[in-house]
Structure 1
Amino acid sequence: MSEYAHPEALVDSSWVADHLNDANVRLIEADEDVLLYEVGHIPGAVKLDWHVDVQDPLSRDFLSKEGLEKLFAKWGISNDTTIVLYGDRNNWYAAYSYWLFTQYGHKNLVLLNGGRAKWEAEGRPYTKEVPHFEETTYHAEPADESIRAFRDQVFAGLKDENLRLVDVRSPQEYSGELLHMVNYPQEGAQRAGHIPGAKNIPWAVTANADGTFKTVAELRDIYAAKDVTPDKNVISYCRIGERSAHTWFVLTRLLGYENVRNYDGSWTEWGSLVRSPIER
């Protein structure tokens, strides 16, 4: 993993196994399938339910700075704790969590390369025991939204020749052939298609069969083929921002792109906006 722009953003399963009893390491499992944690999880891991734990209860937004401080304090996380994120779906929601926690300034964040699937494939231990930690005091920074895109920025970017929109959904979603993903009614939109000018680079093409990330050379070729290069401003999107956060991680942490934002409103917002331009 040393070839990546920021190799410190990844750890492998052996590293995790060696640090299961490290008091300064906190494992967080963030799954698309929220029931997997109860089936079994890496010993010492806490469960992050994205539908509940990091959502504002009223506004379509994330939890506040104070909300994150309470959540981390409950999990026994201090400002110098190394947070190891992992999950199913090649780390969809783990990457989403990484992106969110980066906004609030946590420095020691890593992804388990290969996520839950890699840990399972190697026959490493699971437990159903839910850990409990002594509550800490945590101080988050005000949210740095320079890595987050909003719809007005996307509208403005439609006229920016240096901006590259990256639609990380499946080709069927991108083309407009598929409007609603099966089993994802909460991610519905009024119209199908993609944002004008967006390049379709499905998030999954960046991963190997075992869930680990592809090499730097392979990743560079994938994005260069669609003219998504380091000199461009990039906005990634999907339906609600979790798959596009995975792409944000690849571009910023593995390839070292400096100007990448994740549009978490994504197609659920854009596909229902009155008079928003759409291509098919």
Structure 2
Amino acid sequence: MRGTKWMVAVALWAGTTVAAQASPAQFLVSTDWLEKNIGDPKVKVLEVSVDPGVFERGHIQGAANLVWHTDLVDPVRRDIASRDALQAALRKAGVSSGDTVILYGDNNNWFAAWGAWVFDVYQVPNVKLLDGGRKKWEAEKRPLTPLATTAKAGNITLSAANPTLRARLPDVVAAAEKKSSTQLVDIRSADEYSGKVIAPPGVAELAVRAGHVPGAVNVPWSQAVAADGTFKSVEELKKLYGAVGIDGSKPVITYCRIGERSSHTWFALSKLLGYEVRNYDGSWTEYGNAVGVPVANLAGTVWTGK
């Protein structure tokens, strides 16, 4: 069964029905590889960072900028970008059919991983993350440029959204109430998970209730990466998640606060380990504000973290 799920995951990512044994190299590129292949016209580099002005101050040569809260989400309703809007953004960035797309960003690739998840929903093929993101690139003093480039318009055509890669509130409630076999992974900090705080310091997106979804295990996203921001090895990741019962034998839903950090763990579990995983982008800002859902609160705060 696990082998079958692995093959399905690979086929979904690749946009084909032909299964093949996957490896992290299919979904990650090193900083060394990217620097050597920047000039390849079939390699398109996209930055998805969260901190304002990061791209403008300096970015990888030839990279296009995708702004996560305008290019990757719907500007009117709380939802991911529509097929047409995302397709237009990618074409403007110069992405064409047959290209290899490299995503990278700040904060250990949080929003780059979000981009990879959104791309996966629309079945964009040949998408990889720059392992270590901006953090590793900058630490190695690799070149950055403040000069923007205008790409020749691309011709990529996106497929319809694949709903099986996205978890919704009813899916999470069903898992919490043991009405499904799906496992839940809360990737927030221990204080967020316990209910001591609702969100990281300085973050405005809050929920009314503090705590976590009942039954969810807590594996903070940062445990999946090494000190330089790169993902840990497959063996280390299997051990990390296996220690809390996540071994690929059951479907998994990842969640955080708004879905960006959980995308990072979704990538580790889905792409690097081959498990059957959905990301819940509603995450705690939806669940913690929902009426009638069960909440586990270890800190005893109950309301608004107090």
* Smaller-chain TM-score bracket: over 0.9
Say whether the 8 Å CA contact 2:208–2:288 is kept in structure 1: yes
Quick check: 1:164 aligned with 2:183?
yes
Q: 1:4 to 1:113 in 2, by over 3 A?
A: farther
Quick check: 1:279 aligned with 2:296?
yes
Say whether the 8 Å CA contact 1:206–1:214 is kept in structure 2: yes
Return the letter of the residue paired with 1:145.
Answer: P
User: Normalising to structure 2: TM-score of the pair?
Assistant: 0.87
> 1:217 and 1:20 mapped to 2: Cα distance?
30
Counterpart position of 1:264: 281
> 1:34 and 1:26 mapped to 2: Cα distance?
22
Quick check: 1:8 aligned with 2:51?
no
User: Alpha-carbon deviation of 1:128?
Assistant: 0.2
User: Alpha-carbon deviation of 1:6?
Assistant: 4.0
User: Alpha-carbon deviation of 1:162?
Assistant: 2.7
Return the letter of the residue paired with 1:174.
Answer: Y
> 2:72 and 2:270 mapped to 1: Cα distance?
23
> 1:195 and 1:157 mapped to 2: Cα distance?
9
Say whether the 8 Å CA contact 2:103–2:116 is kept in structure 1: yes
User: Alpha-carbon deviation of 1:183?
Assistant: 2.6
Bigger mean CA deviation after superposition, 157-166 or 84-93: 157-166
> 2:134 and 2:125 mapped to 1: Cα distance?
23
Give the gaps of 5 or more residues in structure 2: 1-20, 298-306
Aligned equivalent of 2:78, options 40, 57, 60:
60
Q: Report the number of matched residues.
A: 276
Quick check: 1:22 aligned with 2:40?
yes
The runs of 4+ residues in structure 1 deviating greater than 6 Å are none
SS in 2 for 1:28: strand
Counterpart position of 1:50: 68
Counterpart position of 1:175: 194
> 2:188 and 2:166 mapped to 1: Cα distance?
18
User: Alpha-carbon deviation of 1:137?
Assistant: 2.4
Alignment map for 1:1-280 (pairs within 5 Å): 5-158=23-176, 159-160=178-179, 162-185=181-204, 187-257=205-275, 259-280=276-297
- CA offsets per residue over residues 38-73 of structure 1, 9 Å max, x none? 121111111111111122121110111111111111
Say whether the 8 Å CA contact 1:176–1:194 is kept in structure 2: yes
Say whether the 8 Å CA contact 1:208–1:214 is kept in structure 2: yes
SS in 1 for 2:44: strand
User: Alpha-carbon deviation of 1:252?
Assistant: 1.1
Return the letter of the residue paired with 2:61.
Answer: P
Return the letter of the residue paired with 2:96.
Answer: S
SS in 2 for 1:17: helix
SS in 2 for 1:51: helix
- CA offsets per residue over residues 215-269 of structure 1, 9 Å max, x none? 1121111111100111111000000111111111001111111x21000000000
Percent identity of equivalent pairs? 45
> 1:217 and 1:4 mapped to 2: Cα distance?
14
Say whether the 8 Å CA contact 1:34–1:49 is kept in structure 2: no
User: Normalising to structure 1: TM-score of the pair?
Assistant: 0.95
Say whether the 8 Å CA contact 2:183–2:252 is kept in structure 1: yes
> 1:49 and 1:171 mapped to 2: Cα distance?
29
User: Alpha-carbon deviation of 1:34?
Assistant: 2.9
Say whether the 8 Å CA contact 1:79–1:106 is kept in structure 2: no
> 2:23 and 2:139 mapped to 1: Cα distance?
27
Q: 1:96 to 1:202 in 2, by over 3 A?
A: same
